[in-house]
Amino acid sequence: MELHHEPPFTKKRCGKLAIWRNELELAHDFAMREGLTFELSATAYQVAKIIGPDVRIVIYPHRTKSTGNVSLRVRDENSKNPDRADDLMVAMDGLVPGFNTFSRHLSDAGIKRQRAAHQREAVRA
């Protein structure tokens, strides 16, 4: 099956990834606004990628063991500009307020970068 990288993300157009239809449309629209490329992924344990000349962000499914809830998370995949990737991932986290969609599992270094990104955003506002 050929994956279609543009909405609508129906089962006929993107197969099993269609369960993430709303989230994929949000991520696609976000990537287009930022001037980046959005691609669905046929790779195991990945749903999609957002790619630019200096960033690569992977969107992947995550299941919470205690509740069984499933959401999408994002991670940097060796971006040339990790600060920009962090800024983009923080912005994606805000696309669905109050939910874990597009959140990240952060290491200590990731938490420090996220706090710095929030401070940069506060200074801009």
Report pLDDT digits (tens) over 87-109: 899 889 888 776 667 777 665 55
Residue 47 lies in a domain: yes
Whether this model's pTM surpasses 0.75: yes
Residue 4 lies in a domain: no
Specify whether the CB–CB gap between 87 and 93 falls below 8 A: no
Task: Give the model's pLDDT for residue 105.
Answer: 63
According to DSSP, residue 46 is labeled: -
Q: How far is CA 50 from the centre of its chain?
A: 7
Q: How many structural domains is the chain composed of? A: 1
Residue 1 lies in a domain: no
Instruction: Please name the residues in contact with 119: beta carbons below 8 A apart, sequence gap of 6 or more.
Output: none
Burial class (CB in 10 A: 0-12, 13-18, 19+), 2: exposed
Task: Give the model's pLDDT for residue 29.
Answer: 93
Task: Give the model's pLDDT for residue 3.
Answer: 66
Residue 2 lies in a domain: no
pLDDT tens digits for range 5-17 = 777 777 877 788 8
Domain, as residue range, for 66: 11-124
* DSSP-based three-state secondary structure for 123: helix
Residue 3 lies in a domain: no
Residue 5 lies in a domain: no
Residue 44 lies in a domain: yes
